[in-house]
Structure 1
Amino acid sequence: MHNQPTAPIGRPRGFDTDQALERAVLVFWAHGYEGASLDDLTAAMGITRTSMYRAFGNKEDLFRKALRRYTEGPASYVARALGQSTAREVATAFLHGAVRSTTRPDRPTGCLGVQGSLAAGESGRNARDILAAWREEGTAHLRNRFHRAVDEGDLPPGTDPGLLARYLMTVANGIAVQAAGGTTGDELQLVADMALRTWPPAGP
């Protein structure tokens, strides 16, 4: 009995999904969730709507994947900051990273996680909730890191880790909004340095 050749299962996508997702990140970053139309996304990704749905799901699914890629790429300074040795070094790396990420000349200004759906209407409610949860997760990571710093004596007794984390995130979010409005990286670096001057001294 002769073996029959096996037909391939499905057709190859014919495009680089990683590259397409990177391009989707830039569209969402520049235009926000509602401002990024399907035509904008598919044109930037170089694919048809059918290919987008097959590879990434609907627009909200694509947005979730794009946010994950953004977290692992342009916003990866957050994870690096959390790994610093002292609370002050964490805060410094976090704010300096925010300035660099939001003012790069080869990328959209601002932060995808901040501007992505601030002005979204009803159709963007889910995206707004996704980004609110994303920002809260970042604040929680900072809070946990500062709890550890208090326990280790790196921050003074009585320091409120949650308030400190909220303060730092508020400054970083403000930096992102200012960057999107055209404020330069040099100016925002001065803002970050000013915020760090009020940082609590190390514990005894």
Structure 2
Amino acid sequence: MRNMILRMNWHLLLAAMLGLVSAHAPGQVYSTLWGEQGELYDPHGRLPNFAYAGYRFGAQPPQVRETVASVADFGAKPHDGVDDTEAFKRAIAETDSGVIEIPAGLYEISDIIWIQKPNLVLRGAGSGATIVHVTATLEGVRPNMGATTSGSPTSNYSWSGGFFWVKGGYASTPRVAITAPNRR
């Protein structure tokens, strides 16, 4: 009888403890800078305006270009566990313009891939189909340490960077000749 009472007391204690634990998930947490639907956005605040990001400020889709090469043509093989960095670099170096295809699969790179020529596109097989896995860190490849405002060391890549770097510019001639400095 005593064991039965102890067992019942134990079960009551356990039930009481479980009652204190909420089975409900915590409520949604939203950014104090954005809110739930952007209602807290302040154009003069810390969040940048990405409304004009993309090709031609997002006003028109990029032109569909013809595929002229594939990283596979330069030795890249998906899912083989071998670094494909040099195949990507050779494909870019040897293709003047057009689309370089990255077929479906997992590719590994360990260095920055630079694109420094116009009209060149790297195109994967779609979201989730082409995966480029980076096996190094930017600090390991190209050290760029800085410091926070309090002096603590930090990587400048905390705020920028990536393993695909696109660099270009416009080469144009002046529209008018400058003949004298302007008086201000």
Q: Which is higher, the Rg of structure 1 or of structure 2?
A: 2
Identify the structure with bigger relative contact order (alpha carbons < 8 Å, sequence gap 6+).
1
Tell me the TM-score normalised to structure 2 length. 0.24
User: Which structure shows the bigger proportion of residues in helix conformation?
Assistant: 1
Tell me the TM-score normalised to structure 1 length. 0.22
